[in-house]
Amino acid sequence: MKKVYMDYGATTPVDPRVLKAMEPYFIRDYGNSMSFHSFGVKAKEALEDSREKVANLMNASPKEVIFTGSATESDNMALKGIAFANRNKGKHLIISSIEHHAVLEPIKWLEKQGFEVTHLPVDKYGLVDLNKLEDAIRKDTILVSIIFGNNEIGVIQDIKGIGKICREKGVYFHSDAAQAFGKVPIDVKKMNVDLLTINAHKVYGPKGVGGLYVRNGIEIGPLLHGGGHEFGLRSSTVNVAGIVGLSEVAEIQKKEMNADARKQIKLRDRLIKETLKIEDSHLNGHPTKRLPNNAHFWFAYIEGESLMMQLDVHGIAVSTGSACSSGSLEPSHVLLATGLKHEQAHGSLRLTIGKYTKKEEVNYVLEVLPNVVKKLREISPFKGRWK
Partner 1 sequence: MRSYGPYTKEVMSHFKKPKNMGRIKNPDGVGKVGNVVCGDVMYLYIRVKKNKKGRDVISDIKFETFGCVAAIATSSMITNLAKGKTIEKALKITKSDIAKALGGLPKIKLHCSVLANDALTEAIYNYLTKNKLPIPKELEKRHKRIKKETEFVEEKFKDYIKMEKEIWGIKGK
Residues at the interface with partner 1 (CB under 8 A): 300-303, 305-306, 309, 312-313, 322-325, 327, 329, 331, 341-343, 346, 378-385
| d(C-alpha 179, C-alpha 203), whole Å | 8
Q: In the complex with partner 1, which residue's Cβ is closer, 259 or 313?
A: 313
Q: In the complex with partner 1, which residue's Cβ is closer, 169 or 282?
A: 282
Which element (helix H / strand E) includes 119? strand 116-120
Size of the chain in residues: 387
Q: What is the dihedral of CA 127, 213, 92, 157, to 10 degrees?
A: -10
Q: Is 324 a catalytic residue?
A: yes
Q: In the complex with partner 1, which residue's Cβ is closer, 215 or 346?
A: 346
Q: In the complex with partner 1, which residue's Cβ is closer, 190 or 383?
A: 383
Q: What is the dihedral of CA 86, 87, 91, 94, to 10 degrees?
A: 20
Give least dist CB 282 to partner 1, A.
Answer: 14
Query: By the 8 A CB rule, do 149 and 184 touch?
Result: yes
Give least dist CB 387 to partner 1, A.
Answer: 9
Antiparallel, parallel or unpaired: β 210-214 and 65-68: antiparallel
* C-beta pairs of 48-51 under 8 Å, 24+ apart in sequence: 49/247, 50/243, 50/244, 50/246, 50/247, 51/243, 51/247
Q: In the complex with partner 1, which residue's Cβ is closer, 94 or 369?
A: 369
Concatenating the DSSP letter of every residue in 4-62 gives: EE-BTTT--PPPHHHHHHHTHHHHTS---TT--SHHHHHHHHHHHHHHHHHHHHTT--G
Q: In the complex with partner 1, which residue's Cβ is closer, 155 or 340?
A: 340
Q: Residues with Cβ < 8 Å from 211, sequence gap 6 or more?
A: 54, 65, 66, 67, 68, 74, 197, 198, 199, 246
Active-site residue identified among 160, 324, 342, 379: 324
Give least dist CB 378 to partner 1, A.
Answer: 7
Helix residue ranges per DSSP H, 58-183: 71-85, 101-112, 130-136, 159-169
Give least dist CB 127 to partner 1, A.
Answer: 25
Residue 279: strand, helix, or coil: coil
Give least dist CB 101 to partner 1, A.
Answer: 17
| Residues acting as catalytic residues | 324
